Structures are given as C-alpha cells and as structure tokens.
Amino acid sequence: MNLPAPLPLRIAVLIPCFNEEAAIGQVVADFRRALPGATIHVYDNNSTDRTVEVARAAGAFVGTETAQGKGHVVRRMFADIDADVYLMVDGDATYDAASAPRLVERLVGESMDMVVGSRTEMAREAYRKGHRFGNRLLTGAVRVLFGQRFTDILSGYRAFSRRFVKSFPALSGGFEIETELTVHALELSMPVAEVPTPYGARPEGSASKLRTYADGLRILRLIAALYRNEKPLQFFSILAGLLAAAAVALSVPVFLTYFATGLVPRFPTAILCTGLMTVSALGFTCGLILDTVTRGRKELKRLAYLAIPPVGRP
C-alpha cells in the first residue's frame, strides 16, 4: 500500500515590533533567506517611526496590536496566525537568522514543543549594563522553583509547535512573556530543548525598549506569582513554616517564665504567638485546598494541549 506523502510544513516567522525602523528590514530579509518557504509576519505595537513601511517594503505581512506591551503582541500573533511551526524572534537584528533552520529541525525532528535559542554573546555591546546579571538571576530563580531545563529563560528567539501555541493562555502583557512561556512548558512537562545561537549588538539607530530595573522587577513578581499559582502547596507551606518558626521563637521566653514562676506576664506575646500559629495552620490548609484546584487546572490545560496533533502530523 502506498502511503500519501506528508504535506510540507507551514512555517510562520513571528516578529513583534516597536520602533524598529533601523533593523526590521534586515531582520525580514535575513529570515527570508534562512527559511525560504516561511511566511514572515511583523506585528507592529504602536510604532512612531517607519517600522510598518519598512517591513512591508521588505515583503513581510504586517499586523497591528494597539495594546502596548510585548505580551499583548505575542497573544495577538498566537491567536491570529495558523501554522504548523512558529518561529518567534525580536525585530532588533540581534539574533542569528542562520540558526533558524537548526531550531526548526530540532523541533520537528525530535517532536519538541518548544526550542529556545540560548544566547551566545558575540559582542560585548550585545548586553546592556545589568542585563547579564539580571538574566542569570531570573533564570536561576526559575531553575530553582520550576526545574533545571533552561539556561536562558529570557531569550526572545524560540521555535514552537502548533499544539504549544494554540494551548498557551498568554496572560502576560510585557517583557515577562518569555518567563510565562518557559514556566508553561515546564509545568505541563512538554518536550523542550535549547540550541546555542549567536547573539550580537543592535544596529546603529536601534535602541532597546527593555527597562532594566522596572521590567526586571515585573519579571521577578511574575515568577513569584507563577510559583504561588502553579505550586501553591509549596508556596503556602514555606509561609506557614516561617510563621510557625516565628511563633515558636517568640513563645520560648513565655514558656521559660511560666515554668519558672507559674505566671504569664508577657500576655500580649502569648496572644501574638497563638495568632501566628493559627495563621500558619490556615496558610497550610489553604495550600492543600489550592493544590487540588491547581491540579484540576493543570489537567484541563494538559487535555487542551493533547487535543492538538503534534508537529508534522494531521
């Protein structure tokens, strides 16, 4: 029996953009050469320069998202565009287009759901001051809390399967979207990988939109919120343990005085210890309840993910 030949994969290159007039033409041209059969989509996010005109002139399909923030743009792209393989990259010409086939080949060849292009610095100017340390700090936090499967969680260069894109809720609004993508994959135990890719400096006239400290704090808050939402028993157990330890520490002098004199002269301290221990018990109970709720949510997300065929299959 002759089996039908598999249909060619539809590859979409997704480029979120905000004021990248100086770089977007080069990015579109480079990825058109690297992935000749791919469709290039540039989504503009209220640019005030000629980003849209330059992207169109370079041959990209241009969409718009008026809600400001990279997370909003990614959510719109994931909702609007239908493909088998998605390659997301920033529009600042810092990522190596020649590495795109390797990311796609790894994704398709090993039936992965996300392949991250981990950045290998090619120029000292590639990272702004504080970005290198911030990336290590935030990546380390995610590895400790959610598992050690990535070395660069903030990379904007990623390949996705259709089942990942169409089952990803995309709740973040800004630059914390990469962290949400990473945690989503880790919590659903998706097959993922990293591929080292060169990372260079921006071209002259292009400026980074990332605010080192403000966006770093937003990402850190998101990591804490995701830890609370995805691992509530661990999160609330830590809080409960800290409150219980404080209650025990404060109660030691009260008990020593009571055993020595039979009196409780530090009555307010005794009340405080009782309150702390009560709140600790309530916190642990909340963690148990929320852990059951989270398990149900995770099962629903997993079912939504499994409802979509893996890459390369009908």
| C-alpha to C-alpha distance for 1 and 181, rounded to whole angstroms | 42
Query: Which tops the pLDDT comparison, 260 or 180?
Result: 180
Of 149-153, 198-202, 218-222, 287-291, where does the model show the most confidence?
287-291
Question: Per-residue pLDDT averaged across 101-115, rounded?
Answer: 94
d(CA 272, CA 260): 21
* Beta strand pairing call for 39-44 and 61-64: parallel
User: Would 94 be classed as within a structural domain?
Assistant: yes
Plot region of 203 (φ>0 → left; ψ -120 to 50 → alpha; else → beta): beta
Query: Are 50 and 95 found together in one domain?
Result: yes
- Are 120 and 237 members of one domain? no
CA distances from 189 to 29, 114, 184, 192, 225 (A): 35, 11, 9, 9, 19
Q: CB of 37 within 8 A of CB of 11?
A: yes
Contacts 24+ apart (CB under 8 A), 275-282: 276/243, 276/244, 276/246, 276/247, 276/250, 277/243, 277/244, 277/247, 279/243, 280/239, 280/240, 280/241, 280/243, 280/244, 280/247, 281/240
Residue at 265 is within a domain: yes
- Whether residue 272 is contained in a domain is answered as yes
Do 204 and 238 belong to one domain?
no
* 62 vs 40: CA distance, rounded Å: 9
Instruction: State residue 145's pLDDT score.
Output: 86
| Signed CA dihedral, 58, 27, 101, 45: sign only | negative
Cα separation, 38 vs 60, whole angstroms: 11
- Of all residues in the chain, what percent carry a pLDDT higher than 70? 91
pLDDT band at 128 (very low <50, low <70, confident <90, very high): low
Residues 84 and 64: their CA atoms lie apart, in Å, by: 22
Pair of tokens at residue 105? 């080949």
Boundary of a domain, candidates 228, 245, 267: 228
Is 310 part of any domain? no
| Domain boundary residue, one of 228, 249, 265 | 228
**Which domain range does residue 242 map to?**
232-305
136 shares a domain with 275: no
Domain contains 262: yes
Q: Within this chain, do residues 200 and 267 fall inside the same structural domain, yes or no?
A: no
Q: Which of 228, 263, 285 is the last residue of a domain?
A: 228
Per the structure, the count of domains in the chain is 2
- 8 Å CB contact between 47 and 19: yes
What's the mean pLDDT in 11-26?
93
User: Do the domain assignments include residue 62?
Assistant: yes
**Same domain? 34 vs 140:** yes
Q: Does a structural domain hold residue 4?
A: no
Give the model's pLDDT for residue 5. 46
Same domain, 61 and 174: yes
Whether 164 and 18 share a structural domain: yes
pTM (predicted TM-score): 0.84
Residues 183 and 276 in one domain: no
- Phi, psi values for residue 281, rounded to 5°: -65, -40
Q: Is the predicted pLDDT of residue 284 greater than 70, yes or no?
A: yes
Report the pLDDT averaged over residues 193-218. 79
- Across the range 273-295, mean pLDDT stands at 94
* The predicted structure's pLDDT at residue 196: 93
Same domain, 193 and 112: yes
Residues 180 and 97 in one domain: yes
* Same structural domain, 57 and 23: yes
Task: Look up the CATH number of the domain holding residue 75.
Answer: 3.90.550.10
Higher pLDDT, residue 8 or 302: 302
- Write down the pLDDT at residue 1: 41
Mind listing the pLDDT tens digit for each residue in 218-274?
888 888 988 999 999 999 999 999 999 999 999 898 888 878 887 778 788 888 999
Residue 249 CA to residue 255 CA, distance in Å, equals 11
Predicted confidence (pLDDT) per residue in 84-94, tens digit = 999 999 998 89
User: Residue 28 has what pLDDT?
Assistant: 95
R_g over Cα of the chain? 25
Average pLDDT, the chain: 87
- 185, part of any domain: yes
